[in-house]
Structure 1
Amino acid sequence: MVEEQRTAIDGESASIQTHLSIIQNIIQRMADNSSASKTWCVTLVSAVLVIVADKGKPEYAWIAMLPTIVFAALDAYYLALEKSFRNSYNDFIAKLHNKTLTAEDLYSVAPKGNISQLQFQAMKSFSVWGFYISIAVLIAITKATAIG
């Protein structure tokens, strides 16, 4: 008769530490992508406004709203993914503490939660609307004063 040898799953297990590290890296990448969205938005909006001012066509300043809207949606998407992976991380930790962790949990990295709902929640976050509304207001002010 062959006995199965089982090892207890604890927080010091290399596989658990690796799993947590993978999720943490994903969360960090989503946060970096959110930040990059803001950076690219400012860059593109500035470039559009400079070109519009150079050409003396203030009516085209509203073109700068397009990257503002697109990057706001992209930023909210990245924040929603970040939140969903934080949910996954927290769920994993809870299962680890409750000793209900399974191999499926250990070898699966997936976001947890409704991405559409989380994206809508992210759009309501000050870090999204506060930034992108400010950009939109600056576009309007620039059109009205500096260009027009």
Structure 2
Amino acid sequence: MEYIEAPHTYSKSSDRKAVFLAGGITNCPDWQSEITNLLNDQDVTLLNPRRKDFPINDPKASEVQINWEFENLRNADLILFWFPKESICPIALYELGAWCMASTPVLIGVHPEYERRIDIEVQTSLVRPEVEIVYSVQDLARQVTVWAKRGRDMPEGVKCSPAVECESPAVHSYLSLLQAVINRMASNSAGCKSWCITVVSGLVVLLLKEKANYILIATAPVILFCFLDCYYLAMEKLFRRRYNGFVKKLHSGDVSRSDLFVISPEKEISSSMIIGSFRSASIYLFYCALAAVVVAIWCVSL
């Protein structure tokens, strides 16, 4: 991480992304130091307008500060705002309004007890609906991490949700839900085989007594249950892909809240996927063998 503090000059000489720390400075905690520590391992440049020693007695210091902020807000690839509860931060509100109307990506964090929290939430939802407001400096830092990995521009309609911890109860619940769906698909597949044997056996016994020449009719449920079995196996594979993809993203730290509780296959199931499932040994060996038995009984009964 590169750190630039006002009034030092920032010159963009590398591909490292620049993040401007907009938000409260006067009469509020030094949240800039906290987020700097949280982002210490990220490949970004932090532009911090908060000086450790502001020359309050220098009449030109304020003008230099304003010019520095003006210039580096325009140099930044990302502008993040934090509104603490201790101050209304009128300048930060002014800057937020201006940059929400621009194209530069913004991230917004608001303390839950900030006096104008509702105003920021409503106004942001109207102007920048893709921005997800967070309520802690830690979550704001996680958003920066996600943004840095995704690229300079936030895709339209995609929220930069805070990253999700591996040990989060939500993660365990989501994985349990996916596993339950996978187990359900496997159970349905096993049920197809059980019901197929039952139905085919009943038909064969019935037809042997009444009309042995029509025993081949018993192959119809074999085909039907084979198709259903292929369908459930294809669905199981799709949910397994979603499960494995989520775990992979979790290990790489790319999972966000928007990834949680998506209970749907990885993609739409297609006829080619269903037909492709027939190549599974658990399907073609079982149903081909069962169909062969029916044909053999028919031949013997002639």
- TM above 0.5, yes or no, is yes
Structure 1 unaligned regions, length at least 5: none
Match of 2:262 in 1: 108
User: Which piece of structure 1 moves more, 71-80 or 119-128?
Assistant: 119-128
8 Å Cα contact 1:37-1:75 kept in structure 2? yes
- Of residues 220, 243, 247, the one that matches 1:89 is 243
Counterpart of 2:201 in 1: which secondary structure?
Answer: helix
8 Å Cα contact 2:185-2:232 kept in structure 1? yes
Match of 2:229 in 1: 75
Q: Which amino acid aligns with 1:78?
A: Y
8 Å Cα contact 1:79-1:122 kept in structure 2? yes
- Of residues 105, 128, 132, the one that matches 2:287 is 132
Match of 2:297 in 1: 142
- Structure possessing the higher radius of gyration over alpha carbons: 2
Q: Which amino acid aligns with 2:258?
A: E
Equivalents in 2 of 1:105, 1:33: separation in Å?
27
Equivalents in 1 of 2:164, 2:293: separation in Å?
54
The answer to whether the aligner puts 1:42 opposite 2:197 as a matched pair is yes
- Of residues 212, 217, 225, the one that matches 1:58 is 212
Q: Deviations over 1:20-47 (max 9, x none)?
A: 0000000001000000000000000000
8 Å Cα contact 1:84-1:118 kept in structure 2? no
Match of 2:27 in 1: none
Please, what TM-score do these two structures have when normalized by structure 2? Answer: 0.46
- Of residues 12, 23, 30, the one that matches 2:167 is 12
Deviation of 1:114 after TM superposition, in Å, equals 4.8
Equivalents in 1 of 2:186, 2:217: separation in Å?
27
Greater RCO (Cα-Cα under 8 Å, separation 6 or more) = 1
8 Å Cα contact 2:234-2:274 kept in structure 1? yes
More helix by share: 1
Please, what TM-score do these two structures have when normalized by structure 1? Answer: 0.92
Q: Please identify runs of 4+ aligned residues in structure 1 that moved more than 4 A.
A: none
Equivalents in 2 of 1:58, 1:70: separation in Å?
21
Paired residues, number = 146
Equivalents in 2 of 1:127, 1:109: separation in Å?
26
Structure 2 unaligned regions, length at least 5: 1-82, 85-110, 112-134, 140-161
Equivalents in 2 of 1:79, 1:138: separation in Å?
24
Q: Deviations over 1:79-136 (max 9, x none)?
A: 0000000000011011111111122211312111452233222111111111100011
What percent identity do the matched residue pairs reach? Answer: 36
Match of 1:123 in 2: 278
